[in-house]
């Protein structure tokens, strides 16, 4: 502020000193006045140079203001001293005309100084003091009374001006302080606004767990990339990455560790190529968009990504391993929109996960039509019961030694308009889309009701397939009880078949449900034995009644099927299970299995699944076996 005011101050001082010197040049002290004028002009020139220097350099650079202030104040004090010398010397002998002119100019200079120097209190007050007080005292000590009067007036004026200078300086200081505070506040506000903007961006665009883009941000960027690809006629691919085995990690070492694993995976994906568009889509799913890269190169990238993800992770003393399956789509070949590309890549990934996990898969029309088929079956199944499209067929299970019927297995049939859909196709869909419990309950009621209606002589056991999902449900036992109660079927006639996959589920629930069923006299069979999760120790703990050897082994009796069946028989005898062989298609197979000690046989050799209206007739032709008679107390 001192420097800003100085141009005007110096100029006015120069003009005033020149006017004073040359107006009253001849009156007195001619040589002194000229020398004084030379001195003050030289000083003002130096001060002007200093001001120019300040404007050009100091102001721009981040300089130390103390030096500039010292220079400025020194110049001001010397100026004040020169004025003081002028006043003291000239006012002594001046005539009244010169006296009046000099007093007016010096008081005006003092008044102006108080304003111009208000940025520096001491200097401002001292400047006024030096200019006015010595000259006034000089006048006071002169003989003429009007000069003494003028001296007195000068002192009073000096006192008023000094107080005025002090107040002006304080006011200016306050104003400068406020201005600086405002500037600081503004700076701080800018920082806060910047930080908030960053936080808002982060909250709305970044997934906090992985530090990657979130869904919304990825979709926004993908839209832009698609627009670019469209304009430049480029191709673009979307990779849908889904981790394999992540659920197991979560279940075994906990969610916190699972989160850390996801963060590490994200790090690996990012460091693979941080220029590609990458996001965490949700859960253990990641998406990558690769621009303008050929199919073969994208395949290579996908394989490399799987390798990178599959490297072991070392987290807090744990060594963890996961894998990844990747589905891929290309713009414009498969879809034009971001949503569609992602959905189809997801479909390809899902399709691959069922068949060949740990590998990349390019989306194809074949996958698409399978998807449409699943969709259509899912919708149809929703009201298949209400539409009366479900039926039960029954396939006899024969006692190998007596060739009499032991039981009938209820097998579900879905007749949808003109199409007969296999349970191999629709049961997994019902399981996946939450329809199996409704359908399974219908099967239980229907099978129990029909079996209960069979004439006394044909009252063989009824085997019902139950999905693991049904078995796990807390109301399963109630549903079974209700089916038995409403049909009036004896629980002893009921066999429940669950596939081997049951052993992959929670053992506690399984044990509780099995016990509850067996307590009622219901028998349990392990279906498709040998195809999946074999755990003989668990079978023993659960005390199941029957093992059903999968038909693939029966069909391989000529080759390695025989050894497997022999082994199963040894264990079954040791642990006291009954064994059923499924898929018996020839007399030779039936004889061989009988010789091996298999208790029961089921297959086309005896009968294909028979519709409910014909099953009684079949049973009547083939007598029920002794086990059945024992159950019925015959
Ligand atoms: P599963 O329980 O192993 O049923 C035996 C399947 O083998 C039946 O197929 C039957 O028709 C077939 N089969 C019987 N003997 C022979 C033979 O000698 N040769 C050949 N090649 N096949 C034979 P289906 O009826 O198509 O049932 C397939 C699967 O669907 C069943 O396998 C079962 O896992 C499931 N399933 C059927 N009904 C139900 C049900 O009501 N509930 C549940 N959860 N699953 C069911
Ligand atoms: Ca079965
Ligand atoms: Ca089976």
Residue ranges of domains in the chain = 6-184, 215-363, 388-631
Q: Is 334 strand, coil or helix?
A: coil
Q: Tell me which DSSP letter residue 144 carries.
A: S
CATH superfamily of 388-631: EAL domain (3.20.20.450)
Model pLDDT, residue 534 = 60
The conformational region for residue 234 under phi > 0 = left, psi -120 to 50 = alpha, else beta, is beta
Predicted confidence (pLDDT) at residue 134 exceeds the cutoff of 80:
yes
Q: Is the CB of 124 under 6 A from ligand 1?
A: no
The protein residue with its alpha carbon nearest to ligand 1, atom 27, reads 423
- Helices (DSSP H) in 206-292: which residue ranges? 215-232, 246-253, 255-272
Average pLDDT over every residue of 303-320: 95
Q: Is the CB of 528 under 6 A from ligand 1?
A: yes
The protein residue with its alpha carbon nearest to ligand 1, atom 19, reads 583
Q: Is the CB of 467 under 6 A from ligand 1?
A: yes
Q: Is 137 exposed, middle or buried (0-12, 13-18, 19+ CB in 10 A)?
A: middle
Better-scored residue on pLDDT, 97 or 395: 395
Cα separations in angstroms, 233 against 239, 364, 413: 20, 22, 51
Let me know: does 303 contact 242? Beta carbons within 8 Å: no
Predicted confidence (pLDDT) at residue 541 exceeds the cutoff of 80:
no
Model pLDDT, residue 6 = 83
Atom in ligand 1 nearest the alpha carbon of residue 431: 44
Predicted confidence (pLDDT) at residue 463 exceeds the cutoff of 60:
yes
CA 426, distance to chain mean position in Å, is 35
C-alpha 357 – ligand 1 centre gap (Å): 26
Q: Tell me which DSSP letter residue 421 carries.
A: E
What are the backbone angles phi and psi of residue 434, rounded to the nearest 5°? 70, 25
The segment with the largest mean pLDDT, out of 172-181, 237-246, 526-535, is 237-246
Indicate the top mutation candidate among 389, 411, 424 to test ligand 1's pocket, ranked by most ligand atoms within 8 A of CB.
411
Predicted confidence (pLDDT) at residue 634 exceeds the cutoff of 60:
no
Predicted confidence (pLDDT) at residue 466 exceeds the cutoff of 90:
yes
The segment with the largest mean pLDDT, out of 48-57, 350-359, 600-609, is 600-609
The protein residue with its alpha carbon nearest to ligand 1, atom 35, reads 423
Q: Is the CB of 583 under 6 A from ligand 1?
A: yes
Let me know: does 394 contact 445? Beta carbons within 8 Å: no
Instruction: Provide the mean pLDDT of the chain.
Output: 90
**What is the distance between the alpha carbons of residues 313 and 180, in angstroms, rounded to a whole number?**
54
Predicted confidence (pLDDT) at residue 23 exceeds the cutoff of 90:
no
Q: What is the pLDDT of residues 567-615, one digit of tens each?
A: 889 988 888 889 999 999 999 999 999 999 999 999 999 999 999 999 9
Other residues' Cβ atoms within 10 Å of the Cβ of residue 275:
7
Res. 59 pLDDT band, cuts 50 70 90? low
Nearest to 286 by CA among 299, 300, 276, 296: 276
Model pLDDT, residue 31 = 87
Q: Do domains 215-363 and 388-631 have the same CATH topology?
A: no
Better-scored residue on pLDDT, 349 or 144: 349
Q: Is the CB of 446 under 6 A from ligand 1?
A: no
Q: Is the dihedral of CA 479, 481, 486, 489 positive or negative?
A: positive
The protein residue with its alpha carbon nearest to ligand 1, atom 3, reads 528
C-alpha 568 – ligand 1 centre gap (Å): 21
DSSP string, 91-127: HHH--HHHHHHHHHHHHHHHHHHHHHTTTSHHHHHHH
CATH superfamily of 215-363: Reverse transcriptase/Diguanylate cyclase domain (3.30.70.270)
Q: Which two tokens stand for residue 432?
A: 């996946």
């Amino acid at each position: 502020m001192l420097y800003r005011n100085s141009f005007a101050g110096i100029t006015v001082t120069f003009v005033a000193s020149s006017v004073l010197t040359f107006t009253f040049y001849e009156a007195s002290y001619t040589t002194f006045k000229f020398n004084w004028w030379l001195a003050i002009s030289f000083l003002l020139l130096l001060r002007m140079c200093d001001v120019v220097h300040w404007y050009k350099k100091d102001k721009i650079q981040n300089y130390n203001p103390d030096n500039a202030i010292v220079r400025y104040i020194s110049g001001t004090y010397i100026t004040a001293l020169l004025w003081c010398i002028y006043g003291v010397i000239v006012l002594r002998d001046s005539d009244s005309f010169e006296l009046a002119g000099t007093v007016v100019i010096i008081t005006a200079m003092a008044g102006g100084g108080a304003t111009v120097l208000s940025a520096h209190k001491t200097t401002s007050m001292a400047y006024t003091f030096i200019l006015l007080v010595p000259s006034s005292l000089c006048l006071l000590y002169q003989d003429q009374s009007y000069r003494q009067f003028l001296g007195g007036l000068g002192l009073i004026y000096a006192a008023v001006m000094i107080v005025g200078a002090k107040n002006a300086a304080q006011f200016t200081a306050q104003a400068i302080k406020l201005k600086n505070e405002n500037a600081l506040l503004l700076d701080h506000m800018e920082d806060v606004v910047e930080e908030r903007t960053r936080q808002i961006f982060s909250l709305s665009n970044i997934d906090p767990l992985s530090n990657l883009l979130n869904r919304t941000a990825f979709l926004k960027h993908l839209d832009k990339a698609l627009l670019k690809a469209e304009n430049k006629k480029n191709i673009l691919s979307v990779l849908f990455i889904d981790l394999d085995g992540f659920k197991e990690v979560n279940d075994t070492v906990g969610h916190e560790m699972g989160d850390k694993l996801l963060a590490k995976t994200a790090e690996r994906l990012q460091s693979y190529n941080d220029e590609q568009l990458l996001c965490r889509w949700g859960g253990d799913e990641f998406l990558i968009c690769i621009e303008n890269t050929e199919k073969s190169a994208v395949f290579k990238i996908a394989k490399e990504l799987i390798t990178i993800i599959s490297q072991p992770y070392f987290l807090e003393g744990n060594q963890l391993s996961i894998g990844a399956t990747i589905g891929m789509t290309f713009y414009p070949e498969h879809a034009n929109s971001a949503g569609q590309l992602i959905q189809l890549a997801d479909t390809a990934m899902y399709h691959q996960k069922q068949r060949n996990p740990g590998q990349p898969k390019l989306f194809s029309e074949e996958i698409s039509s399978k998807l449409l088929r699943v969709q259509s079956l899912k919708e149809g199944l929703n009201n298949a019961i209400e539409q009366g499209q479900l039926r039960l067929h029954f396939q006899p299970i024969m006692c190998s030694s007596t060739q009499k019927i032991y039981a009938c297995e209820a097998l579900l049939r879905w007749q949808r308009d003109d199409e007969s859909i296999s349970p191999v196709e629709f049961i997994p869909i019902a399981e996946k889309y939450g329809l199996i419990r409704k359908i399974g309950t219908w099967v239980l009621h229907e099978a129990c009701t029909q079996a209960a209606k069979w004439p006394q002589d044909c009252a063989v056991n009824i085997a019902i397939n139950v999905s693991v999902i049904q078995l796990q449900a807390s109301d399963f036992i109630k549903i079974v009880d209700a089916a038995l109660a409403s049909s009036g079927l004896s629980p002893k006639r009921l066999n429940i078949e669950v596939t081997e996959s049951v052993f992959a589920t929670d053992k506690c629930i399984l044990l509780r449900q099995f016990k509850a069923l067996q307590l009622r006299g219901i028998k349990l069979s392990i279906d498709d034995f040998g195809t999946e999760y074999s755990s003989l120790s668990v079978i023993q703990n659960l005390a199941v009644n029957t093992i059903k050897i999968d038909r693939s082994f029966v069909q391989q009796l000529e080759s390695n099927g025989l050894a497997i069946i022999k082994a199963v028989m040894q264990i079954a005898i040791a642990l006291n299970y009954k064994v059923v062989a499924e898929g018996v298609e020839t007399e030779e197979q039936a004889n061989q299995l009988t010789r091996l000690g298999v208790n029961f046989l089921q297959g086309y050799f005896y009968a294909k699944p028979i519709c409910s209206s014909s099953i009684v007739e079949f049973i009547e032709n083939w007598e029920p076996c002794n086990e059945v008679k024992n159950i019925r107390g015959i």
